[in-house]
Structure 1
């Protein structure tokens, strides 16, 4: 019995000794890791090398420098000799020419039938399905919405809808389903049309083309 107790006591002491050595070993390793981390140098920031091309002075090509100054097409910067400005002036002249010719035609038609002139904008010529008419022309037109007939210079009929909306006290007459007439006659921005009311619900329509203006002849 005494021998068994001696064995158990020896075994207990051996376990405690092993545990003590293990704790000392762990503490030693932890201490070494802390010392190593403290001694480890902080990595230096990476320096981006400078780009010699960006730092170099701007070089101007002699060939490019010898070229004439290029036009500035920004809004409000156009010069009289710029192509854009010249084109705009020619377009304005063609528009004015078409309007003047339409006025001459209107005068020739006389006053037996009410007439009005309608210059074509880009939207009226290519996109809009409704064409507005002068408000004062309402007095010659039906008092309510109705079907209207447009007769071109080849005596072809085009049926549209007449509408007269009231905006406050002002009546705004217009022709709806206008897009077909514009497309069939290949209307363009700057064209000018003369509308002659030959019947209560029928217009004779004359087209003065802006393309008839030749800048070289004026």
Structure 2
């Protein structure tokens, strides 16, 4: 019996030893399968694309300010860029309510126009409520990043005007510059302009004369370059050199403002280039007078390397605001003063001397605010006087009714008294 039990125990041990590897293999296979399962990544949200809530609030606040400044007769929509919008599939989902209310009820081509007027066609898919084909091109062309905010302004049935607010922007600066771009139609400076002028200087060509541009065009047309860096034919250069050399030229030297005697020798120089031709003559005259009032070039300390077109826009906007300040009435709204000050603040941060305008604007805003408070106090007093007159009228009416009632009671009592005296004994 002992031998039989021993054999049974040994057989059980063998069975266990045979089963154990299978169990181990099963567990290892299970863990291996789990390790190959695709991980579920957390879906990006608007909050997750910003480093902090303050950064999110800042860019959204700027976007809302831009949206509020647009023409209210056309609907607008604010959209935060997520990673899926600007990388990978480049799919842009839109707001369902906005699409239902304002966009076509069928698939259609939607045009996106940026702030420079360049247009991009995109495919709007009504079932998926978003933009597909063409959106990738728009995103790449404008270097969109997660966290940027776009304001879509539906200016036509199938066209959005798109304003881009960068998540790493300069706050009020980019808003103000956006206003400058809208007013002045600023675009990037073609490198051919600077290349042509530098080439002309290197070859000791005579400076371009604004009075006789055609003569200079014929003299300098052989040095024209296209924007891609290649040389152009003589005919091609003849077409563009007039525009290039007439609009912008190199400055031989910088003349101090105290040596400027009249507008004829008043030159607006940015990055060593004379850009007088960027301004209409009336505006240039106004800017000259504005500089004379401060006995200095207001643009003298603009940031080095600043785009010439942008510099021209800043100068134009500064001059226009100075005109608006001169022409404004004391009844002007706070929003006007606020908009002007924001634009001037942006220009000041870029080096424009506008502190005297901001100081004047502050004083005018204070006086206008005091007038409004005075008017409000006067209206409040008038309202109180009107209320008093109304209460007095009601009091007189009550008094009249009371007197009439007293008269009736007195007459009744006199009549009763008379009847009582006339009763026979």
TM-score when normalising by structure 1: 0.52
Give the Cα separation in 1 of the matches to 2:96 and 2:51.
Answer: 31
Is 1:108 the counterpart of 2:65 in the alignment? no
Give the match for residue 176 of structure 1. 132
Is 1:150 the counterpart of 2:112 in the alignment? yes
Higher-Rg structure is: 1
Give the Cα separation in 1 of the matches to 2:154 and 2:139.
Answer: 18
What runs of 5+ residues in structure 1 fail to find an aligned partner?
Answer: 1-87, 166-171
Give the match for residue 140 of structure 1. 102
Give the Cα separation in 2 of the matches to 1:132 and 1:89.
Answer: 19
What runs of 5+ residues in structure 2 fail to find an aligned partner?
Answer: 1-48, 172-425
Give the Cα separation in 2 of the matches to 1:98 and 1:180.
Answer: 24
Give the match for residue 53 of structure 1. none
RMSD: 1.9
Give the match for residue 204 of structure 1. 161
Contact 1:95 1:191 in 2 (8 A): no
Give the Cα separation in 2 of the matches to 1:213 and 1:90.
Answer: 16
Q: What is the Cα deviation at residue 108 of structure 1?
A: 0.8
Contact 1:193 1:207 in 2 (8 A): yes
Give the Cα separation in 2 of the matches to 1:89 and 1:104.
Answer: 19
Residue by residue, what CA displacement relative to the aligned partner does 1:3-47 show, whole Å, maximum 9, x if unpaired?
xxxxxxxxxxxxxxxxxxxxxxxxxxxxxxxxxxxxxxxxxxxxx
Give the Cα separation in 2 of the matches to 1:162 and 1:131.
Answer: 10
Give the match for residue 187 of structure 2. none
Instruction: Point out the structure with the larger helix share.
Output: 2
Q: What is the Cα deviation at residue 143 of structure 1?
A: 1.2
Give the match for residue 185 of structure 1. 142
Number of paired residues?
A: 121
Contact 1:153 1:205 in 2 (8 A): yes
Give the match for residue 91 of structure 2. 130
Give the Cα separation in 2 of the matches to 1:188 and 1:181.
Answer: 12
Give the Cα separation in 1 of the matches to 2:140 and 2:93.
Answer: 17
Higher relative contact order (CA 8 A, sep 6+): 1
TM-score when normalising by structure 2: 0.27
Give the match for residue 126 of structure 2. 164
